Structure 1
Amino acid sequence: MKTKITTVLFSFIAIFALGQKANFNIKYSEQLAVFVFIQNLSENYPENVFKTEFQQSKYNTQKYKDLLLKFDKLSFDYSYPFDEYPYGSKIPMQSRDVLKKNLIETSNLNDFKLRSIGIVPNKTLHDLAEIISEFIPVYNELIYIPNKEKFETQLKEITNYSNEKNIEHYFQTGLRFYNSSWDDSIPFEIAFYPLPNSKGFTAQAFYNNFISAIQTDLKDYKSLFSVMLHETYHIIYDEQSLEIKKNIAQYFKENPSKYSNYAYMLLNEALATALGNGYVYEQLDGKTDTNDWYYSEYINLMAKQIYPMVKEYIILKKPIDKNFIDSYIKLYGKSFPNWINELDHIMTYRYIMSENEKDLNTIRQMFPSRSSEENEMQISIMGLEKMKKTPLTKIIIVSKNNAEKLKLIKTQFKELKKWNFNADKEFSYKILLEDKSQLLIINQNKSALKTLINSIQ
């Protein structure tokens, strides 16, 4: 299936987590479903079943096209980081996800607006609610009502399956394994909505929510719930305490292996896949899934490599600790020693510095898979200082004032002290830095960026 610390402290938190019980509330949220429907009708979205149904309907008129244009112009994507946490270990606040959470947890648009005041400007909130209101009858006529009978039967079956298989138990398993915690007064809200004429389902988790569009003929609930738990484990990982996250980050930093940095950046997805697509699926089906567990080769292979160790920790009811981290890094280096030189892997976590905005699009087209990305549109001392503080793969593209910029770059990285270059000659240069991240320097004159990137050894 492809889908899409001290010992004393560890023990205390594991016991604390075990005393909790998360309540899973499975439901249909019309407000959320309509919001997602509108998103999918946007010109910015690729072709999809919602867009097809709308374009072939009587609602494909100027009135609704204007509303979609208005929706596209709304600014409700705001974010703030949790700077005290180790880099990349905690997801920044995303206002779009908070709005979706509020759509799920309120029963009408007025309550949604009251709950969401302050997240985005009031005018934006008013316009968003108004657009959702206009599209509710459209969504119901085109999507929900034609699939209502099948979907409501599915929702009952999914709820029964969750109860029979005690899905909350796997949430507790994750809390113990990750050494995380959960406030049992906060329910976990799970919102499904129908996805007609589709061969697959979607999955996303944030805060205390999981949302999924499910195909109307879905019967493979073990796959659905293994993916749901996969996404949920990201939340549990995200909710580890600051102290736990600092300890884990320190274990990776202190490990002498040259592979530790990229192993750390792969950790979140590898663990969620081993737990959700490996352990949960095996428990629900009675046997291990022999198909791919994840669409990314690197995540899939690493998750399968560490699965025996993950399963052993679960059986022994042990939380991840220093021994686990050291063994994990060792497995990464021994099993996949070439990964830290494979661009498809290391470019998943990238910091791009270029004075040509088109370069960003080129890299995104060449390496569409990205877990982390930062960009800097000026080659400067300040920008280079900021770049050096991240563990990401560092890509610097020099195409203007080449001799001056290359000299500046050389002064900022001690690893380049003995590096000699010819600014008049195009080249691609790669070096592993002391922080165990790769630095890629591309000196461009006339050749296409894609050609120079492909020449990197």
Structure 2
Amino acid sequence: MKNTFLLAFLLLCSFSFGQNLTFKIKYSEQLAVFVFLENLSEYYPDNVFKTEFQKSKYNVEKYKNIVSKFEQLSIYYSFRFEDFPYGSKKTMQTYDVLKKNLIETADLNDFKVRSVGMVSNKTLSDLAACIVEFTPIYNELIYNPNKEKFEKQLDEIRKCAREHQIENYFKMGLVFYNSSWDNSIPFEAAFYPLPNSKGFTASAFCNNFVSAIQTDLKSHKDLFSVMMHETFHIIYDEQPLEVKTQIDVWFKENKSKSSNYAYQLMNEVLATVLGNGYVYEKLDNKIDEGEWYNNKYINLMAKQIYPLTKEYIEQKKPIDENFIDQYILLYETNFPDWINELNNIMTYRYVITENKKDFKVIDKIFRYRSRTEYEDQITESSIEKMLQTPLTKMVIISKDSKVKLKLLKNKLKELKNWKANPDKEFVEKILLEDKSQLIIINQKNTDLETLIKFVK
């Protein structure tokens, strides 16, 4: 993600990524301060930035009010690419575009001009004002104490990137995903220092990769494998419409009852296989014997599909119908129960309830989530919208059960012969024709968290 404008330029490094395509490694002070402010929010867990701020002279009402103002800014808007198959292309987020503009602009005035229209002008001005106020605080508490180590790390990353020809992995991803990239658009990686930490976070969006760097980082193979993992998400996202449509058809025409949930998992699995599996193996000359991803389903499936994926990579073959069929077969054969495990299927969820507090309960129980849609009215329209998605569908009924259950039965042919007593509390799970699970909870007196434990 990630002391002055001049320093930012001095830290900028770019190298060839093929004809006319450049890959830039840089430090962005603007983005670093933005991330710093995010981490000071009361909604963020304890972290090194929060610790340093809380024990500093700046932990006073004036600056705490600025943090509070920052976290209340309305910078989160989104829109879907409606012509692409559902979930196959990342929803465009104004939050991502604002971070992109922080990385790519020379100063905050430039940032505001570039970002006009993404959010309201008042919000944009307030965001820039928060960053201005906290820039000297960030530099005093975080950047300057770690400046020497960070700049050395940045130089080593650039050197390592050149030595290992990281650009070749980008090209490899384009071939495997049957994707495309306009060479006139540079790929920019922004780093920022992360002191006193054993781990780091990373993300990618648009044409940007953002990551913290531990100031005592000893090896770069983990960093580069994660960097390429995130980059492969972008390459997957940039598959042309016809490619994504064809892949969607292959999954939907496959007869396996596991095909839908295998599809939901695929994006993260493939990024893990390519980044944490193949790239890591090439950088370290041996495969990583540990966990590739801190999620059981992604980690295990990535290791199952690795031999087939490696074969495709080395033969320079793009994803085809055979690859998709083999992927689904491996999923179903090795993990047949996954389509019934809530920790898996609730990662991709559409929840309808008329009690908004239920959403917090669901988020508490199922913290890991990839795609979520929430609706607070049980109506014919909301049910129709839910049924248009391949997500796990959960309907929580806590009042007017007879009417709401009738609405569901009228919209789902799988419920045609289903008998349910609206006066009794129950939990039901049904695999629908689109191979997604429908979970119906008729709640009377028992709390939702307890009821969910009864889902078979």
Match of 1:67 in 2: 66
Letter in 1 for 2:38: Q
Distance in 2 between the 1:329 and 1:118 partners? 43
Distance in 2 between the 1:455 and 1:62 partners? 47
Secondary structure at 1:436 match in 2: coil
Secondary structure at 2:25 match in 1: strand
Match of 2:137 in 1: 138
How far is the alpha carbon of 1:161 from its aligned partner? 0.4
How far is the alpha carbon of 1:64 from its aligned partner? 1.1
Letter in 1 for 2:387: K
| Unmatched runs of 5 consecutive residues or more in structure 2 | 1-16
Distance in 2 between the 1:265 and 1:203 partners? 21
Native 8 Å contact 2:18 2:167 kept in 1: no
How far is the alpha carbon of 1:156 from its aligned partner? 0.4
Distance in 1 between the 2:424 and 2:61 partners? 55
Match of 1:81 in 2: 80
Match of 1:370 in 2: 369
Match of 2:241 in 1: 242
How do 1:1-150 and structure 2 match up within 5 A? 22-150=21-149
Distance in 1 between the 2:345 and 2:70 partners? 36
Match of 1:229 in 2: 228
Native 8 Å contact 2:191 2:213 kept in 1: yes
Match of 2:194 in 1: 195
Letter in 1 for 2:267: N
How far is the alpha carbon of 1:73 from its aligned partner? 2.1
Pick 1 or 2: higher relative contact order, CA cutoff 8 A, min separation 6: 1
Letter in 1 for 2:326: S
Native 8 Å contact 1:20 1:182 kept in 2: no
How far is the alpha carbon of 1:382 from its aligned partner? 0.7
Distance in 1 between the 2:227 and 2:153 partners? 16
Distance in 2 between the 1:320 and 1:409 partners? 38
Q: Deviation per CA, 1:49-98, whole angstroms, max 9, x where unpaired? A: 10110111111122211211221221111111100000000111111111
Secondary structure at 1:154 match in 2: helix
How do 1:395-434 and structure 2 match up within 5 A? 395-434=394-433
Q: Deviation per CA, 1:388-410, whole angstroms, max 9, x where unpaired? A: 11000000111101122112211
Letter in 2 for 1:106: T
After the TM superposition, which of the residue ranges 62-71 and 384-393 deviates more from structure 2?
62-71
Letter in 2 for 1:263: A
Match of 2:381 in 1: 382
How far is the alpha carbon of 1:20 from its aligned partner? 5.8
Give the RMSD, CA atoms, in angstroms.
1.1
Letter in 1 for 2:253: E
Native 8 Å contact 2:80 2:90 kept in 1: yes
Pick closer, same or farther for the CA change 1:20–1:381 going to 2, 3 Å.
Answer: farther
After the TM superposition, which of the residue ranges 396-405 and 158-167 deviates more from structure 2?
396-405
Distance in 2 between the 1:212 and 1:105 partners? 15
After the TM superposition, which of the residue ranges 445-454 and 137-146 deviates more from structure 2?
445-454
Letter in 1 for 2:423: D
Native 8 Å contact 1:180 1:241 kept in 2: yes
Distance in 2 between the 1:423 and 1:202 partners? 47
Match of 1:7 in 2: none
After the TM superposition, which of the residue ranges 397-406 and 20-29 deviates more from structure 2?
20-29
Match of 1:256 in 2: 255
Q: Deviation per CA, 1:181-207, whole angstroms, max 9, x where unpaired? A: 111111110111001111111100001
Distance in 1 between the 2:426 and 2:72 partners? 41
Native 8 Å contact 2:190 2:210 kept in 1: yes
How do 1:163-312 and structure 2 match up within 5 A? 163-312=162-311
Secondary structure at 2:127 match in 1: helix
Secondary structure at 2:62 match in 1: helix
Secondary structure at 1:442 match in 2: strand
Native 8 Å contact 1:21 1:168 kept in 2: no
How far is the alpha carbon of 1:19 from its aligned partner? 7.5
Secondary structure at 1:353 match in 2: strand
Distance in 2 between the 1:283 and 1:21 partners? 26
Native 8 Å contact 1:23 1:168 kept in 2: no
TM-score normalised by structure 2 residue count: 0.95
Distance in 1 between the 2:117 and 2:362 partners? 36
After the TM superposition, which of the residue ranges 66-75 and 220-229 deviates more from structure 2?
66-75
Distance in 1 between the 2:168 and 2:318 partners? 16
Native 8 Å contact 1:394 1:439 kept in 2: yes
The alignment of Structure 1 onto Structure 2 pairs a total of residues equal to 440
Distance in 2 between the 1:338 and 1:62 partners? 53
Distance in 2 between the 1:51 and 1:122 partners? 29
Secondary structure at 1:329 match in 2: helix
Distance in 2 between the 1:406 and 1:114 partners? 52
Match of 2:8 in 1: none
How far is the alpha carbon of 1:303 from its aligned partner? 0.5
Secondary structure at 1:431 match in 2: strand
Q: Deviation per CA, 1:222-257, whole angstroms, max 9, x where unpaired? A: 000000100000000000001100000000011111
Q: Percent identical across equivalent pairs? A: 66
Distance in 2 between the 1:22 and 1:175 partners? 13
Native 8 Å contact 1:263 1:332 kept in 2: yes
After the TM superposition, which of the residue ranges 343-352 and 102-111 deviates more from structure 2?
102-111
Native 8 Å contact 2:188 2:207 kept in 1: yes
How far is the alpha carbon of 1:108 from its aligned partner? 1.1
Distance in 2 between the 1:222 and 1:272 partners? 16
